[in-house]
Structure 1
Amino acid sequence: MLIDYHTHHERCGHAVGKLEEYVKQGIAIGLDQIGLSDHMPLLHVNPEEYYPEMAMPMEELPRYVEEAFSLKEKYKGQIDVRVGLEGDYIEGSEEKIEAIVNAYPWDYVIGSVHFLGTWDITDFRQTQGWEGRDPMAVYEQYYDAIIKATKTGFYDYIGHIDVIKRFGFKPEGDVTGLENAALEAVKRSGMAIELNASGLRHACAEMFPGKRMLHYAKELGIPITIGSDAHSPARLAENLEQARQCLKEAGFVQLATFERRIRTLVDF
């Protein structure tokens, strides 16, 4: 079973390629399932006054959904298209997030934390946000947001659960307790996580989550899916063979797939 559940396209502003190009590329490389999962529109900052090209405009959201479901039907029998959303968890914006989650018949919704307040900790243009901050306090705030996300019921799985390490900023102290608490919250919620291979392209030089967290997720019995976080069709399924090997080494033998918010485990 070859799947890639984490992809972004041109509507989000910082990716390239049309949805159909991703689907065609998925067919060309032999994927069984492709998940379309673009970023939720910005809800808590004014897009016109914030950093450009962060997420799709709100008026594009229904067009994205309509096109994605059209492609799901068009390519039926060639590849299974699953229609998803990367739905940021933003503390204080829960009602707005819930409205978007409930407005469309998603196959799955990824719960990702990018923002701590108005600071996007995953944006290379905003790394100055670390200046003058205690890295441990930032990690504590980040993992607290992950735990809160698990309690909302909005999401099917947590995306890139330790993405806070992306740019290589780390506390001097041990963060094992924070990481474990986040995974234990996922377990209590009944959710899954993803193994996101995109971390290999960044300063942290390892996947999200890293191997220690991955092994603890297996110990807890947390289901897992897989994604490249591709921002261009050419990067679809990038490093996923290596990711699959990491999963096998950690003892995983199944992947979580999603359709109409129902999770199914498949052998890989």
Structure 2
Amino acid sequence: MWIDYHTHHARCGHAAGELEEYVLRGIELGLKQLGLSDHMPLIHVDPAKYYEGMAMPLEEFPRYVEECLELKEKYRDRIDIRVGVEADYIEGYEEDIAKLLEPYPWDYVIGSVHFLGEWDVTDFRQLHNWEGKDVDEVYAQYYDAVQKAARTGLYDYIGHIDVIKRFGQKPTKDVYDLEKQTLDAVKEAGLAIELNASGLRMPAAEMFPSRRMLEYCLAEGIPLTVGSDAHDPTKLAQYLDQAYALLKDLGFTELATFDRRRRIMVPIE
């Protein structure tokens, strides 16, 4: 089952390409399912403090969903489109996130932690925020946020679960116990995670999550889906051949897909 569940387009401000370009590229690549999953608008950062292209404007959100649904119908005989969103977990804003998501007919909602407060740890323009920080403490804060996200009931799966390693900052202590605690929280919440291949094009030079976290998922029966996290139609499905090969090598036989917030396991082909 050749799928890609993690994509972004021009509305979010820091990606290229229109939604239809992703759909046409997905057809060209032979994807069986394509997940459209752009970032939700930010609800906790003053727009006056935004970096350029930081987020989809709130007024664009309904139009994003509308266009996804239009494309799903238009191309239904050529590709199976699933309508999703990557919804940032922000501690203290759980009710606001729920209200923002509630009106729309999602197939799936990705729960991702990008922000620790107003610091986007995944934004290269904010790398200066690491200065003077205890890396071990930042890792602990990040994984605590992921665990809280898993427990909210807002999400279907957790995105790039160890993205805190994106720019190569490494803790001084082994954080494997912290990683396992986080995966345990995912399992207890009945969620899946994704194997996000985009880490291979970043300083981390490793997919999200690491092989040892994937091994733990296999042992604990935590389901996985896959995504390229493409921010350009030309990057759709990038490195997914390596992601599939890794999953098969580890012994995974199924992938999680989603339809109207219902998880459906399909064989890896």
Partner of 1:106: 106
Which amino acid in 2 is paired with 1:167?
F
1:48 CA drift (Å): 2.7
Partner of 1:47: 47
Partner of 1:233: 233
Secondary structure in structure 2 of the residue aligned to 1:155: coil
1:55 CA drift (Å): 1.3
- The answer on 1:251 being equivalent to 2:251 is yes
- The answer on 1:154 being equivalent to 2:154 is yes
Secondary structure in structure 1 of the residue aligned to 2:49: coil
Partner of 1:172: 172
Secondary structure in structure 2 of the residue aligned to 1:103: coil
Deviations 1:160-204 (A, max 9, x none): 000000000011111111111100100000000000000000011
Which amino acid in 1 is paired with 2:247?
L
1:152 CA drift (Å): 0.4
In structure 2, distance between residues paired with 1:58 and 1:191? 27
Q: Which runs of 5+ in 2 are unaligned?
A: none
Partner of 1:56: 56
Which amino acid in 2 is paired with 1:143?
Y
Identity, in percent, stands at: 65
In structure 1, distance between residues paired with 2:133 and 2:222? 32
In structure 1, distance between residues paired with 2:185 and 2:250? 20
1:49 CA drift (Å): 2.2
In the TM superposition, 1:1-268 aligns within 5 A as 1-268=1-268
Which amino acid in 2 is paired with 1:57?
P
After TM superposition, the score normalised by the length of structure 1 is 0.99
In structure 1, distance between residues paired with 2:140 and 2:202? 22
Give the aligned length: 268
After TM superposition, the score normalised by the length of structure 2 is 0.99
Deviations 1:66-87 (A, max 9, x none): 0000000000010000000000
In structure 1, distance between residues paired with 2:41 and 2:56? 5
In structure 1, distance between residues paired with 2:67 and 2:46? 26
In structure 2, distance between residues paired with 1:3 and 1:158? 17
In structure 1, distance between residues paired with 2:176 and 2:114? 20
Which amino acid in 1 is paired with 2:95?
E
Which amino acid in 1 is paired with 2:145?
A
In structure 2, distance between residues paired with 1:149 and 1:168? 24
Secondary structure in structure 1 of the residue aligned to 2:155: coil
Q: Which runs of 5+ in 1 are unaligned?
A: none
For structure 1, which segment, 164-173 or 95-104, has the greater mean C-alpha deviation from structure 2 after superposition? 95-104
In structure 1, distance between residues paired with 2:117 and 2:106? 26
Which amino acid in 2 is paired with 1:65?
V
Secondary structure in structure 2 of the residue aligned to 1:82: strand
Which amino acid in 1 is paired with 2:191?
M
Which amino acid in 1 is paired with 2:32?
D
In structure 2, distance between residues paired with 1:89 and 1:242? 28
In structure 1, distance between residues paired with 2:216 and 2:35? 26
